[in-house]
Amino acid sequence: MRIFLDANILVAVINKEYPLFTYASRIVSLADSKQHEVFTSPLCLAIAFYFAEKKNKKAAKNKIKILSANLSIAGVNSDTVQKTVQNSAINDFEDGLEYYAAVESKCKCIITEDKDDFYFSDIEVLDCGEFFNKYMVKKG
């Protein structure tokens, strides 16, 4: 299963923001699983770095280095930009770029704590708790 992580999930992991860190870190760890491919975008990494460097610049760079080595990076290119600007349903340019990066990477869902930002999405949008309960908790 291909999943896309929004910047707020990365920020929660990098800055160990509880209680979200508990779910978010386990979801990020799916990158080590053969059943999942975990994507994010360069834009999400930049946003995560921005918030992490406020706490510790050197540690932030190291954490981004680790994330970027373990996550798949979805492309953001001129096609992504054009799709975003041409979609009249999209009001937030950044969310549009992330959405089309996820779509182009064939992700099944976007994981974000700001689900309302992706009101226009044709793919599933879940928060960490929802994803965890739907796809990670063993049933039975």
Tens-place pLDDT, residues 98-138: 999 999 999 999 999 999 999 999 999 999 999 999 999 87
pTM greater than 0.85: yes
Residue 7 pLDDT greater than 80, yes or no: yes
Q: Which tens digits make up the pLDDT trace of 28-83?
A: 999 999 999 999 999 999 999 999 999 888 889 999 999 999 999 999 999 999 99
87 pLDDT above the threshold of 70? yes
Please, where are the H alpha helices in the chain? 7-14, 20-28, 42-53, 57-70, 78-86, 93-104, 128-131
Domains of the chain, earliest start first? 2-131 (3.40.50.1010)
At residue 58, the pLDDT reads 87
Pair of tokens at residue 50: 């921005």
The mean-pLDDT minimum among 21-25, 53-57, 93-97, 99-103 falls in 53-57
The encoded tokens of residue 4 equal 């896309």
